[in-house]
Amino acid sequence: MIASQAKRISSFYISHGVIREQDREKYNYCYEILLSTGMNVLAIALIGLATSFLLPSACFVLSFILLKNTVGGYHADSHKGCFAATVGTYLGFRLLAAFLPAAVLTPLAGLLAVFAAVTVFRLAPLGTGNKPLGRKQAARLKRDGRLLILFFSLTVLILLLCRTDPRWPFSVSFGIAAVAASLIAGKRKLAKTQ
């Protein structure tokens, strides 16, 4: 469904002279990613809105997407798999945030941030089998990923020290910890294919 919609969008822009026919494959891929990401974000936003948890959900999504786009990690083999993994991860976050008491969420947020920082420093960035990273690109992504994980970890630390509602630091730390888990899963998947 997503692939066919992406092709329809590309065809529309080609027929109107906005993009060139020889660039069709690039645009098909870009529109697929855009539609897939949009579906994931929309599903999370709807769940967050329905459960009165929209702003913490936005913190989760923002930290997850920014870090994942920089450091890489596991990629599902289909858009359905990606949707299931992303929304499943979010639902895990949402359930924990709803049912764990503040006395547990607070230290858990700190532990998740430490786990994420150590993992990103050790494993990032991670390319894929079809899209390995060049040396310069890997060096730039490593630097950017480390700066980003430090920023998010410091954000969690400041939120914890300010004794804010524990859902806020937990939202950020769960997002970056999900990326760290994705790096581990992606590394294992890549090792199996080599």
Q: How far apart are CA 47 and CA 110, in angstroms?
A: 25
**Domain boundary, last residue among 13, 35, 50:** 50
pTM > 0.95: no
Domain boundary residue, one of 50, 66, 89: 50
More confident residue, 133 or 20: 20
CA angle 155–157–162, rounded 5-degree value: 95
Number of domains into which the chain is organized:
2
The proportion of the chain whose per-residue pLDDT surpasses 90, expressed as a percent, equals 72
Domain residues for the domain of 35 are 1-50
What is the mean predicted confidence (pLDDT) over 167-171? 96
Question: Same domain, yes or no, for 82 and 132?
Answer: yes
Residue 90 has pLDDT above 70, yes or no: yes
Mean pLDDT of all residues in 88-102: 96
* Rounded Cα gap, residues 42 and 65, in angstroms: 13
Most confident of 17-21, 113-117, 132-136: 113-117
Over range 41-64, report the average pLDDT.
96
Task: Say whether both 85 and 122 belong to one domain.
Answer: yes
